[in-house]
Amino acid sequence: MNEFKLIERYFNWACYHSVSLGVGDDCAIIDATPNTQIVTSVDTLIEGVHFPKNTSAADIAYKALAVNLSDLAAMGATPKYFTLALTLPELNEAWLSEFSDALKQLAAEYQLDLIGGDTTKGALSITINIIGEVETGKALLRSGAEVDDLIYVSNTLGDAAYAWQQIEQGGTPSDFCLERFNRPTARVGLAQALVGMANACIDLSDGLEQDLSHILKHSKVGATINIDAIPLSDPVSVYINTTQDWCIALAGGDDYELCFTVPKTYVEALKTIEKNLGIALTKIGVITKDLGLDIKGLNKTCASYQHF
Amino acid sequence: MNEFKLIERYFNWACYHSVSLGVGDDCAIIDATPNTQIVTSVDTLIEGVHFPKNTSAADIAYKALAVNLSDLAAMGATPKYFTLALTLPELNEAWLSEFSDALKQLAAEYQLDLIGGDTTKGALSITINIIGEVETGKALLRSGAEVDDLIYVSNTLGDAAYAWQQIEQGGTPSDFCLERFNRPTARVGLAQALVGMANACIDLSDGLEQDLSHILKHSKVGATINIDAIPLSDPVSVYINTTQDWCIALAGGDDYELCFTVPKTYVEALKTIEKNLGIALTKIGVITKDLGLDIKGLNKTCASYQHF
């Protein structure tokens, strides 16, 4: 099968938005919505680095798109389009069909259009470039945190990292943690609800310690958080109680939850959002004038995820 | 070095355009220009597939960006932004420095902003997603060719494919052909000059035979071209005279020249463009009502480039 038949068969879908020209020309052409800004981000997943070798095509597709959705979510943006650069060791139609079905399904959930791509031969890797829109000037940035803002995170931390650690050690993660690892939920709706409320926001991909530090650096502030306040699922809670390895939740990475800061006046409004969306929002600390990240109750330093 | 220092050191440049937020947040934010459409495309280069293993970092950077510029050029668009997903087997600062310098230099030529990226560990590959703008409704498409349009190509064909073939056979290409292979020139200015004149346009990445066929398919027309009219450089001309291997120019790929169709009324205007830009434009045939591509003087079929 040549590339054109492959695209025609697996990646030429109908469009949700005003795509003047999608897959099939040199480029895609899209129409920008008035009074919005364009938001874009790119993430690559590589076999053996970001997912284990035996991961299903469906899980790979899901995660590749979800991690990009998570980046857009962190800006409070509405996802609209994406391009897919897919590198495959061989042309396996069963694999491609499963990959394409899962990708299409998640894209449909967010009304995301696949508007372009490239397929090449090589070690399995997936690069998605996602494009969204945000009302002009309303994006949630890393740079807006203010002294005395409360710091929140969504849901629980460390679940995916715990699954990954167990896989690497030859163990069997719980279904819950494995699902959190393979199928992270991008917090698109939550972030959109936080627009106009949160002063700063980031998605947790490298781990709370490193990612919150980005907010602090960009906002030129510090923070104090309480280790006991970090929200944990039952499996991770049991693991940490046994091992005292808080680093799984602080620096394990792959959470794809949001960390955001809000003025105290919004505490009640957050409770409403939490109830409406059914996503736990936990206060873990406060933004301070003193620079640096002070983690109360942690008596060691976690090694952050290093890309090299 | 962690990813953030790497980005800071090698990929955090000043911006030419109204980038509200570039490298350093979850996403980049850009402002669309009124009355324009957004044009985007993605291309991956993989070591050993798209360039030989001993290619310099500078040549790799140049080609990775140039082939994407070429896709945008084919639409008559103005390149403005790009994201870079870079997968490296190891962190080699000398390599990164050379790569980043060459990328920055070519980006500066076109006032292109690097607005985001991802660096991952794995087999060397470079995925660039380029974003540009075109006046609403003015893009050059594959689908506009009309019966009796004249078919033109820019410059010469087969130079890069001839270099690649010689490298693969253990030979030494001429400096001229090697330069054409490593450093293709995207025909951005030419394509912009053709807006309002050309009915259809494509950039030649897979070879004239395959790429012109895309125009024919999308425009629902056919074409007759004359093999003797294909513009050739001296080295490729000598090679073809010796071997009769016309396929190097028809299906070798990697030309990154433009193939476009124009109504006859524009023949004189094209001569002016040719003179002003110093790029040879050669008439190679005509669009016909009868479907299919008829190559007069070719008594064989060329095997087109297959991605798998």
Q: For residue range B85-114, list pLDDT tens digits in order.
A: 999 999 899 999 999 999 999 999 999 999
Map tokens 């490193």 to a residue. Answer: A210
pLDDT at A9: 80
Mean predicted confidence (pLDDT) in B129-152? 94
Mean predicted confidence (pLDDT) in B276-283? 98
A38 in a domain, yes or no? Answer: yes
pLDDT surpassing 90 at residue B6: no
Q: Which residue of B has its CA nearest to A27?
A: B41
- Are the beta carbons of A160 and A44 closer than 8 angstroms? no
pLDDT digits (tens, 9 = 90+) for B231-278: 999 999 999 999 999 999 999 999 999 999 999 999 999 999 999 999
**Same domain assignment for residues A290 and A164:** yes
Min Cα separation A135/chain B (Å): 11
Q: What is the pTM of this model?
A: 0.90
**Same domain assignment for residues A123 and A193:** no
pLDDT at A21: 62
Mean predicted confidence (pLDDT) in A22-41? 82
B209 to chain A, any CB pair closer than 8 A? The answer is no
**Same domain assignment for residues A193 and A75:** no
B236 to chain A, any CB pair closer than 8 A? The answer is no
- Are the beta carbons of B208 and B264 closer than 8 angstroms? no
Residues of B in contact with A84 (CB under 8 A): 42
pLDDT surpassing 90 at residue A59: yes
Q: How far apart are CA B40 and CA A74, in angstroms?
A: 23
pLDDT digits (tens, 9 = 90+) for B52-78: 998 999 999 999 999 999 999 999 999
Min Cα separation A238/chain B (Å): 31
Residues of A in contact with B1 (CB under 8 A): 308
pLDDT at A188: 96
Lowest mean pLDDT among A94-108, B35-49, B85-99, B291-305: B291-305
Of A236-245, B16-25, B297-306, give the range with the top mean pLDDT: A236-245
Interface test with chain B among A3, A9, A20, A26, by most B beta carbons within 10 Å: A26
B308 in a domain, yes or no? Answer: no
Q: What DSSP line would sit under B74-140, residue for residue?
A: TTTPEEEEEEEEEEESS--HHHHHHHHHHHHHHHHHTT-EEEEEEEEESS-EEEEEEEEEEETT---
pLDDT digits (tens, 9 = 90+) for B150-204: 999 999 999 999 999 999 999 999 999 999 999 999 999 999 999 999 999 999 9
By DSSP bridging, strand B113-121 and strand A78-88 are: unpaired
| Sheet containing strand B222-226, strands side by side | B200-203, B258-262, B150-154, B281-288, B222-226, B292-296
**Same domain assignment for residues B155 and B277:** yes
Min Cα separation B140/chain A (Å): 10
Q: Which residue of B has its CA nearest to A122?
A: B46
**Is A117 close to B42, i.e. CB distance below 8 A?**
yes
What residues make up the domain containing A61?
3-135
pLDDT at A74: 93
- Are the beta carbons of A114 and A29 closer than 8 angstroms? no
| Interhelix angle A159-168/A175-182, nearest 10 degrees | 100
**Is A116 close to B43, i.e. CB distance below 8 A?**
no
**Same domain assignment for residues B48 and B164:** no
pLDDT at B232: 98
Domain count, chain B: 2
A130: CATH:
3.30.1330.10
A164: CATH:
3.90.650.10
A158: part of which helix (H) or strand (E)? none
pLDDT surpassing 70 at residue B305: no
Q: How many CA atoms lie within 13 Å of B171's alpha carbon, on the beta-carbon side? A: 11
Min Cα separation A169/chain B (Å): 21
Mean predicted confidence (pLDDT) in A14-23? 66
Q: Which of B135, B162, B186 delimits the end of a domain?
A: B135
Mean predicted confidence (pLDDT) in A164-177? 95
Q: Which of A72, A102, A135 delimits the end of a domain?
A: A135
**Is B40 close to A84, i.e. CB distance below 8 A?**
no
pLDDT surpassing 90 at residue A1: no
User: Which tokens belong to B172?
Assistant: 């030494």
**Is A42 close to B83, i.e. CB distance below 8 A?**
yes
**Same domain assignment for residues A94 and A159:** no
B182 in a domain, yes or no? Answer: yes
Give helix then strand counts, H and E, for chain A: 10, 12
pLDDT at B256: 97
**Is A20 close to B32, i.e. CB distance below 8 A?**
no
The terminus-to-terminus CA distance of chain A in angstroms comes to 36
**Is A75 close to B26, i.e. CB distance below 8 A?**
yes
Residues of B in contact with A50 (CB under 8 A): 120
Mean predicted confidence (pLDDT) in A137-142? 91
Q: Which band of pLDDT confidence, cut at 50, 70 and 90, is reported for residue A26?
A: confident
Q: Which band of pLDDT confidence, cut at 50, 70 and 90, is reported for residue A162?
A: very high
pLDDT at B26: 73
B77 to chain A, any CB pair closer than 8 A? The answer is yes
**Same domain assignment for residues A257 and A164:** yes
pLDDT at B291: 96
**Same domain assignment for residues B165 and B244:** yes
User: Which tokens belong to B195?
Assistant: 């807006």
Q: What is the pLDDT of chain A when averaged over all its residues?
A: 92
pLDDT at A11: 82
**Is A40 close to B203, i.e. CB distance below 8 A?**
no
B303 in a domain, yes or no? Answer: no
Q: Which residue of A has its CA nearest to B49?
A: A121
**Is A30 close to B38, i.e. CB distance below 8 A?**
yes
| Sheet containing strand A36-46, strands side by side | A113-121, A78-88, A125-135, A36-46, B28-30, B19-21
Mean predicted confidence (pLDDT) in A176-183? 96
Q: How far apart are CA B76 and CA B97, in angstroms?
A: 32
B145 in a domain, yes or no? Answer: no
B36 in a domain, yes or no? Answer: yes
A130 in a domain, yes or no? Answer: yes
**Same domain assignment for residues B117 and B156:** no
Mean predicted confidence (pLDDT) in A1-13? 75
Helices marked H in A39-80: 57-73
C-alpha closest to that of A254 among A63, A123, A107: A63
**Is B42 close to A116, i.e. CB distance below 8 A?**
yes
Interface test with chain A among B11, B26, B96, B136, by most A beta carbons within 10 Å: B26
pLDDT surpassing 70 at residue A102: yes
Task: Output the CA–CA distances (angstroms, integers) from residue A185 to A160, B98, B116, B307, in the order listed.
Answer: 12, 38, 23, 33
pLDDT at B16: 73
pLDDT at A295: 95
A75 in a domain, yes or no? Answer: yes
B49 to chain A, any CB pair closer than 8 A? The answer is yes
**Same domain assignment for residues A215 and A176:** yes
**Same domain assignment for residues A125 and A201:** no
**Same domain assignment for residues A223 and A118:** no
**Is A37 close to B44, i.e. CB distance below 8 A?**
no
Q: Which of B72, B100, B135 delimits the end of a domain?
A: B135
